[in-house]
């Protein structure tokens, strides 16, 4: 039986790369975007990085991005799986989001779900 993990952190960033050993380099953390052109604004790519703990077994996950005021879904990922060998396993998750179209300025939530349960979110404000 799988146990849904909790998130130590969830960040939006420009890049995530594997470094030496078990390290991950996270670069360009942000929570705001200032589009130079009008709307809709298409963000070509960015990463969602999360460090997950206290899960057990195989856990399916996906990410949603929603406009807070309208609850409009603007971007989602296909479900994928994570494996937690023990309750003490730490799993680093880095997902590249591509071609997300934001229809209007405002507050958006980038939400992580595991086994269809909300785990955490990060705010993204488009000015």
State pLDDT tens for residues 93-117. 999 999 999 999 999 999 999 999 9
For the chain, list the domains and their CATH numbers. Answer: 6-126 (2.60.40.10)
Instruction: Say if CB 26 and CB 49 are below 8 A apart.
Output: yes
Angle formed at CA 59 by CA 54 and CA 62, multiple of 5 degrees = 110
DSSP 8-state secondary structure symbol assigned to residue 34? -
Which H or E run contains 113?
strand 106-114
What confidence category does residue 84 fall into, taking pLDDT thresholds of 50, 70 and 90? very high
State pLDDT tens for residues 12-69. 999 999 877 778 999 999 999 999 888 999 999 999 999 999 999 999 999 999 999 9
Q: Is the pTM of this model over 0.85?
A: yes
């Amino acid at each position: 039986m799988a146990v849904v993990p909790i998130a130590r952190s969830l960040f939006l960033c420009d890049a995530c790369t594997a470094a030496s050993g078990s390290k991950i380099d996270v670069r360009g953390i942000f929570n705001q975007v200032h589009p130079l052109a009008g709307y809709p604004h298409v963000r070509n790519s960015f990463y969602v990085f999360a460090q997950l703990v206290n899960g057990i077994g195989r856990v399916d996950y996906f990410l949603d991005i929603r406009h807070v005021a309208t609850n409009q879904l603007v971007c989602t990922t296909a479900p994928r799986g994570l494996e937690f060998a023990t309750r003490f396993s730490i799993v680093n998750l880095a997902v590249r989001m591509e071609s997300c179209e934001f229809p209007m300025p405002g507050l958006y939530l980038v939400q992580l779900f595991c086994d269809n349960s909300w785990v955490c979110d990060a705010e993204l404000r488009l000015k």
